[in-house]
Amino acid sequence: MKKILGLAALLLVMGLYAPVKAEEPWGYALYGEYTSPADFTIPNAKKAPKVGCATCKSIFFVKLGDCSITSAMKNGGISTVTYADWEKTSVLGLVNKKTLKVYGN
């Protein structure tokens, strides 16, 4: 009986971490990795020579780091952004990592 209640509590907690948007699958699995394009992309963009990354993490609702476009541009020495991608990793929806990769000149 305790195992059933424990499993039900775990499923309830995981359900609370269900994503608001379908393209961000936080909370659907014990572990998940996801890559997607950022909300903006310049049409007909060519492969950019420079890449800049900015990473932020959240552990039990405590957010750490700066994953802004400005930070990624600074880290890659980029002055003009062509396009960007997100890489997201989640463990139980409680430990999350987001990396913004910015491509440009």
pTM of the model: 0.66
Q: Check whether 85 has a pLDDT greater than 50.
A: yes
Domain of residue 27 covers 2-104
Structurally, the chain folds into a number of domains equal to 1
- The whole-angstrom separation of Cα 70 and Cα 81 is 10
Q: 19-22: long-range contacts (C-beta < 8 A, 24 or more apart)?
A: none
Per-residue model confidence (pLDDT) at position 92:
78
Q: Where do we find the tokens 């209640």?
A: 5
Q: What is the pLDDT of residues 27-82, one digit of tens each?
A: 456 777 877 777 666 666 677 789 999 999 988 878 899 888 899 999 999 998 88
